[in-house]
Amino acid sequence: MAQKDLLGGALWEAYSKKVAARMDNPTNRGELTEADALKLGGKLVIADHGAESCGDAVRLYWVVDPQTDVIKAARFKSFGCGTAIASSDMMAELCVGRTVDEVAKITNIDVEKALRDEPGTPAVPPQKMHCSVMAYDVIKRAVALYKGVDLSALETETIVCECGRVSLGTIVDAIRLNDLKTVADIIHYTKAGGFCKSCIEPGGHEKRQHYLVDILRDTRAAMEKEKLHQQMVAPDFCSMTLVRKLKAVEKIFTDELRPMLAADGGDVELVDLKEAGGVWEVYIEYKGACLGCPSAGTNTLSSIEAILTQKLGENIKVVPS
* pLDDT value for 156: 65
Residue 128's nearest CA partner among 20, 288, 253, 260 is 20
Alpha carbon distance 51, 66 (integer Å): 30
* pLDDT value for 1: 34
Residue 248's nearest CA partner among 194, 165, 316 is 316
With 50 as the cut, is the pLDDT of residue 260 above it?
yes
Model pTM above 0.75:
no
Residue 58's nearest CA partner among 72, 78, 41, 42 is 78
* pLDDT value for 75: 97
With 60 as the cut, is the pLDDT of residue 191 above it?
yes
Evaluate whether 77 touches 58 at the Cβ level (below 8 Å).
yes
**235 vs 131 pLDDT, higher one:** 131
pLDDT in tens, 90-124: 999 999 999 999 998 887 778 888 999 998 888 88
| Fold of the CATH domain 2-154 | Sufe protein. Chain: A (3.90.1010)
Q: Could you list the active site residues?
A: 54, 131
Compute the average pLDDT of residues 119-145: 81
Q: Which of 20-29, 126-135, 200-209 has the highest mean pLDDT?
A: 20-29
Alpha carbon distance 39, 151 (integer Å): 29
What does CATH list as the number for 237-320? 3.30.300.130
With 70 as the cut, is the pLDDT of residue 2 above it?
no
**206 vs 244 pLDDT, higher one:** 244
With 60 as the cut, is the pLDDT of residue 314 above it?
yes
Q: Mean pLDDT in the chain?
A: 85
Length of the chain as a residue count: 321
Evaluate whether 38 touches 19 at the Cβ level (below 8 Å).
no
With 80 as the cut, is the pLDDT of residue 7 above it?
no
Domain extent listing, the chain = 2-154, 166-232, 237-320
Compute the average pLDDT of residues 55-80: 92
pLDDT in tens, 30-62: 999 999 999 999 999 999 987 555 567 889 999
Spacing of C-alpha 207 from chain mean position: 21
* pLDDT value for 199: 93
pLDDT grade, residue 220 (50/70/90)? Answer: very high
Question: Pairing relation of β-strands 279-288 and 266-276?
Answer: antiparallel
**214 vs 161 pLDDT, higher one:** 214
* pLDDT value for 5: 40
Compute the average pLDDT of residues 80-91: 89
